[in-house]
Amino acid sequence: MSSFRPFDSGVPRDPDRAAARICGAGPDGRAAAGPGGATIERAPSVRVAAARRAGRPGTRLRGLVRWLAGIGLALLAGGAPAVAAQMPPTRVFIIHGYGASPSDHWFSWLAQALERRGAAVTILDLPRPDAPTPETWQRALREQIAEPDARTWFVAHSLGGIALLRYLTQAADIRRIGGFVLVSGFNAPLPALPQLDAFVVPDLDTPRLVRMAAQRIVVAAEDDAIVPYASSRHLAEALDARFVSVARGGHFLRSDGYTQFPLLLGLIERMPGFMR
């Protein structure tokens, strides 16, 4: 059965108040951070037996017993043997869209909010955003994204969304990622921007994307004048993704009032598996 779940928020244009209504966050967009990772310290070493007695009958067994007893005492005292290395951090890559840069709109705000929660965040810097080509953007994605895995998450805006999907389907070595959120995502020609038609992927391998990313969200505004609302909805259906609908949000640009995006932050934090 499809997991496609339309979500109509009825959000006012003020993104801070919208997030407070939908995500349970305050107007400042702050949410309680999860617990930090504990540091594992090495337990005190325990000497088993003197080397000169190692060959005597029963010495090895008695030494093993004393060694195990020492480990037990160390654990009771609050220590722990140094075992596996700490788990690598959650990585988030933010991908801007047409005519934008890493410092535009809500990108830096979101990066700082996620970093405060312990994620390692990179905002990609894609070449010639005012005159992009699929080839140059794909090359930049390959160069700036290192070995995505199950602890890697993506947030892409507008044209950055279809560029991300093309990258994921073309990379033969990517088996699993944590998930992605596409803001004003599309995979169809845009009447307002015909110069971007080359980015559209008619034969997009959506089954592979569904297998690759367990968590998939598409966010769209009903009054988006750049990406038709129906285009974002169709993309969500093709990806079997959760569809989050905002009544008034435009294209989620600075000019639409989006220098912060608490709604998006709340959606990311609540994605199963994020920061775990």
Cα–Cα dist 81/60, whole Å: 22
Q: Which residues pair with 95 in a beta bridge?
A: 156
Q: Annotated catalytic residue: which of 9, 105, 157, 158? A: 158
Q: Among positive and negative, which fits the CA dihedral 75, 79, 82, 86? A: positive
Cα–Cα dist 117/115, whole Å: 5
Non-local CB neighbours of 82 within 8 Å, separated by 6+ positions: 40, 41, 42, 43
Inter-residue contact 43 to 75 (CB < 8 Å) = yes
Tokens representing 196? 């971007």
Q: Which residue has the tokens 């894609």?
A: 126
Q: Of the candidates 131, 186, 192, 193, which has an alpha carbon nearest to the alpha carbon of residue 159?
A: 186
> Is residue 224 flagged as an active site residue?
yes
> Is residue 251 flagged as an active site residue?
yes
Q: Annotated catalytic residue: which of 96, 224, 231, 256? A: 224
Cα–Cα dist 243/163, whole Å: 19
Q: Which residue has the tokens 């093709």?
A: 238
DSSP string, 174-234: ---EEEEEEET---S--TT-GGGGGG--TT--HHHHHHHEEEEEEEEETT-SSS-HHHHHH
> Is residue 3 flagged as an active site residue?
no
Q: Which residues pair with 157 in a beta bridge?
A: 183
Q: Annotated catalytic residue: which of 96, 231, 251, 256? A: 251
Inter-residue contact 45 to 73 (CB < 8 Å) = no
Just list the catalytic residues: 158, 224, 251
